[in-house]
Amino acid sequence: MPYHEVRVSSVSEEDHMPLVILPVACLALVALATTLAVRPSRGAHRPDAGALAWLVPPVAALAALVALCALGLYVGEAGELVACCLAALLAAAAALARPRSLALLDDVAGRVGLKPRAGRAVVAVLALLLCTALGFLAIELPYNPAALQIAPNFALIQGLIILGALTLGLFLFQRHGAGLALGVVVCALIGVAQFFVKSFKASAILPNDLFVLGTAAAVSGSYVYSVDGAVLLGLSCALLACAACTVVAPPSAADSRALVRRTLANLACALAAFAALWAGVTVPDYFGQLGVGMEYWYTLDYYERQGFVTTFVAVAQDLPVDEPEGYSDESARELEAAYAATYDETLGATEARAAAAEQFAEEQPTVICVMNETFADLSSLEGASWGYAGPERYASVDDALMGGELAVSVIGGGTCNSEFEFLTGIPLAYVGDGKYPYSLYDLSDAPSVAEQLSALGYSTTAIHPNYATNWNRDRVYEMLGFDRFLTIDDFAGAEQFHSGVSDAETYDKVLELLEADDGPQFIFDVTMQNHSSYDQGNIGEVEQYAVDGLSDYDNDRLSEYLACIEESDRALAEFMAELEQLDRPVVLVFFGDHQPALSSIVADALYPDEDPSSLEHSLRTHETTYFVWANYDVAGSAQVSEELPTSPAYLAALMAEAIGAPLSDYQKALLVAREEMPCLSLVGAQGADGTWYELEDADALGAAYDDLASISYLEFASKLE
Q: Tell me the percentage of the chain whose pLDDT exceeds 70.
A: 90
Domains of the chain with CATH codes: 13-317 (no CATH), 365-662 (3.40.720.10)
The answer on pLDDT for 565 being more than 90 is yes
Least confident of 39-48, 202-211, 354-363, 588-597: 39-48
* CA neighbours closer than 13 Å in the CB half-sphere of residue 505: 21
Taking residues 102-117, what's their average pLDDT? 82
Note the helical H segments in 396-543: 415-424, 428-431, 437-440, 449-454, 473-479, 503-516
The answer on pLDDT for 246 being more than 70 is yes
The answer on pLDDT for 436 being more than 60 is yes
pLDDT category of residue 29 using cuts at 50, 70 and 90:
low
Between 665-676 and 703-715, two packed helices, what is the crossing angle to 10 degrees? 160
Answer positive or negative: Cα dihedral of 136, 142, 143, 146: positive
**Nearest to 102, CA basis, from 88, 116, 92:** 116
- Say which residues have a Cβ less than 8 Å from residue 503's Cβ, sequence separation at least 6: 372, 497, 527, 529, 530, 567, 568, 571, 572
* CA neighbours closer than 13 Å in the CB half-sphere of residue 208: 20
Give the integer Cα–Cα distance in Å for 188 and 77. Answer: 19
Taking residues 12-17, what's their average pLDDT? 43
Whether 219 contacts 318, CB under 8 Å:
no
Top mean pLDDT of 28-32, 220-224, 455-459 is at 455-459
Query: Tell me, what DSSP letter sits at residue 349?
Result: G
Taking residues 513-521, what's their average pLDDT? 97
Digit-coded pLDDT (tens) for 176-233? 999 999 999 999 999 999 998 888 877 788 776 776 666 666 666 667 788 999 999 9
Whether 59 contacts 118, CB under 8 Å:
no
Least confident of 13-27, 199-213, 318-332, 571-585: 13-27
pLDDT category of residue 296 using cuts at 50, 70 and 90:
very low
Least confident of 130-144, 189-203, 391-405: 189-203
Q: How many residues does the chain have?
A: 721
Digit-coded pLDDT (tens) for 253-287? 777 888 899 899 999 999 999 999 998 888 766 67
**Percent helix, percent strand, percent coil in the chain, to nearest 5:** 60, 10, 35
- Angle (CA) 450 455 456, round 5°: 100
* Angstrom distances, CA of residue 670 to CA of 246, 302, 382, 484, 527: 63, 32, 33, 28, 27
Q: What is the pLDDT of residue 441?
A: 84
Whether 654 contacts 623, CB under 8 Å:
no
Query: Tell me, what DSSP letter sits at residue 541?
Result: -
Q: What is the pLDDT of residue 187?
A: 97
- Angle (CA) 530 533 536, round 5°: 95
Q: What is the pLDDT of residue 292?
A: 82
Q: What is the pLDDT of residue 256?
A: 84
The answer on pLDDT for 488 being more than 50 is yes
Digit-coded pLDDT (tens) for 596-611? 999 999 999 999 999 9
Global pTM reads 0.71
The answer on pLDDT for 33 being more than 90 is no
Q: What is the mean pLDDT of the chain?
A: 89
Q: What is the pLDDT of residue 14?
A: 41
The answer on pLDDT for 370 being more than 70 is yes
